[in-house]
Amino acid sequence: MIHSLFLINSSGDIFLEKHWKSVVSRSVCDYFFEAQERATEAENVPPVIPTPHHYLLSVYRHKIFFVAVIQTEVPPLFVIEFLHRVVDTFQYYYSGISILMQHASPFAQ
């Protein structure tokens, strides 16, 4: 299934990576960066990018690319749906933290 997950900001920096089965080198993201350069806008990066040994599946939300690395063929919509659920979970979690911090701060006005 998913071997690695990379979070890439709009500047092209990989700011978070998680590996499950084995460590996949960051150099695999070079294929993603090439596709990103060819795209006219961030939303136009192809969601599935085949490489010689991996497939890169990505979603773009909140100015962040969530890039999953897989080594075998799996239904791409399954992985893309999973990535959207990850984004939704992050959004829900961090919006809750933000609200909690606003109400818990002794300096909140």
What is the structure's pLDDT at 83? 96
CB 8 within 8 A of CB 32: yes
Could you read off the pLDDT of 17-74 as tens digits, one per residue? 999 988 999 999 999 999 999 999 999 999 999 999 999 999 999 999 999 999 988 8
In this structure, is residue 109 part of a structural domain? Answer: no
In this structure, is residue 72 part of a structural domain? Answer: yes
Number of domains making up the chain: 1
81, 60, 76, 80: which is closest to 7 by C-alpha? 60
Say what the pTM is. Answer: 0.85
Q: The domain spanning residue 87 has which CATH number?
A: 3.30.450.60
Q: How confident is the model at residue 94 (pLDDT cuts 50, 70, 90)?
A: confident
Range of the domain at 25: 2-104
What is the structure's pLDDT at 13? 94
Q: What is the mean pLDDT of residues 103-108?
A: 58
Q: How confident is the model at residue 101 (pLDDT cuts 50, 70, 90)?
A: low
In this structure, is residue 61 part of a structural domain? Answer: yes
- Rounded distance between C-alpha atoms, residue 95 and residue 90, angstroms: 8
What is the structure's pLDDT at 21? 83
- Rounded distance between C-alpha atoms, residue 37 and residue 39, angstroms: 5
